[in-house]
């Protein structure tokens, strides 16, 4: 699993934020048994680069590359150009109304996307967890804050506006998910590659990346973190 062989994807054509491939690599490195095979849901997959990584670097049988803002046709075209059409299944869907059977997935992965819908009360227990097979795992990486008090900091508000409400601390996420669901165990940590994944995003030259860089340099760096969660469902 050599992350550097994916360097061609560290561009504004593929990345939609801090380097999702490196975040996924970190999640999998820390939980090598989380994707033992079977069907994998890549929820909020964007342009599908994380789905490509899952298809090529793990034992996943099929990867369901599911996204709302990016249409299934463009992800299908990319899957074909990567010669992964036998493994990647692009789906256009909203996390609130996912078109999958309960217990279908051995693993669910979401990189830099779960906070957009997952803060919502009850969504995890009613829409996400039921899709997981007994004994399955969920790996999540999302931008967050070191401390809940930082959500209302003026700089955070200026940068994220209403979306500041989607940023939470690792402890908040653990409490949020465990309060809804029984029979799960969660390991939470902060990404060890915070600086690097943001630097890769800035290096794409994307106009949003340039805006993010200005805020990070003004002090946002001291407030933000990348929350990494490993959720295991008991059998
Ligand atoms: C910042 S992008 C990250 C994309 C990709 N995971 C990556 O890291 O490159 C956030 C993604 O979350 C997806 N998303 C946001 N709300 C969603 C929802 N309600 N259902 C499904 N996907 C959603 C968007 O479509 C978008 O592609």
Q: Measured from the CB, is residue 16 less than 6 Å from ligand 1?
A: yes
Q: Measured from the CB, is residue 137 less than 6 Å from ligand 1?
A: no
Going from the Cα of 67 to the center of ligand 1, the distance in angstroms, rounded, reads 6
Residues 132 and 103 sit within 8 Å (Cβ to Cβ): yes
Neighbours of 182 (CB within 10 A): 8
| Alpha-carbon span 222 to 106, nearest angstrom | 36
Q: Measured from the CB, is residue 95 less than 6 Å from ligand 1?
A: yes
Pick from 91, 83, 94, 152: which is nearest to 118 by CA? 94
The residue nearest atom 8 of ligand 1, judged by CA position, is: 20
The structure tokens listed for 20 are 């999702």
| Alpha-carbon span 119 to 155, nearest angstrom | 21
Q: Measured from the CB, is residue 44 less than 6 Å from ligand 1?
A: yes
Residues 53 and 21 sit within 8 Å (Cβ to Cβ): yes
Mutate to test the pocket of ligand 1, among 44, 112, 114, 226 (most ligand atoms within 8 A of CB): 44
All structural domains of the chain: 3-233 (3.40.50.150)
Listed in sequence order, the DSSP H helices in the chain are 20-30, 49-57, 72-81, 114-118, 123, 154-160, 170-178, 194-203, 207-217
Q: Which residues contact 128 (CB under 8 A, 6 or more apart)?
A: 43, 95, 108, 118, 138
What tens-digit pLDDT sequence spans the chain (235 residues)?
789 999 999 999 999 999 999 999 999 999 999 999 999 999 999 999 999 999 999 999 999 999 999 999 999 999 999 999 999 999 999 999 999 999 999 999 999 999 999 999 999 999 999 999 999 999 999 999 999 999 999 999 999 999 999 999 999 999 999 998 988 999 999 999 999 999 999 999 999 999 999 999 999 999 999 999 999 987 5
């Amino acid at each position: 699993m050599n992350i550097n062989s994916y360097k061609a994807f560290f561009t504004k054509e593929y990345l939609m934020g801090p380097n999702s491939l490196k975040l996924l690599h970190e999640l999998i490195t820390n939980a090598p048994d989380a994707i033992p095979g079977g069907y994998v849901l890549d929820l909020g997959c964007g342009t599908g680069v994380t789905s490509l990584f899952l298809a090529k670097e793990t034992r996943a049988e099929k990867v369901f590359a599911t996204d709302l803002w990016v249409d299934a046709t463009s992800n299908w075209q990319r899957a074909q150009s990567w010669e992964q059409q036998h493994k990647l299944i692009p789906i256009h869907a909203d996390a609130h109304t996912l078109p999958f059977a309960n217990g279908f997935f051995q693993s669910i992965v979401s990189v830099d996307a779960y906070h957009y819908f997952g803060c919502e009360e009850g969504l995890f227990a009613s829409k996400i967890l039921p899709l997981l097979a007994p004994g399955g795992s969920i790996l999540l990486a999302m931008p967050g804050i070191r401390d809940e008090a930082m959500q209302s900091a003026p700089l955070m508000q200026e940068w994220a506006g209403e979306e500041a409400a989607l940023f939470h601390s690792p402890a908040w996420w653990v409490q949020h998910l465990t309060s809804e669901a029984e029979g799960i165990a969660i390991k939470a940590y902060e990404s060890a590659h915070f600086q690097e994944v943001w630097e890769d995003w800035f290096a794409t030259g994307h106009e949003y990346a340039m805006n993010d860089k200005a805020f990070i340099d003004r002090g946002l760096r001291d407030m933000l973190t990348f929350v990494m969660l490993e959720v295991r469902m008991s059998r």
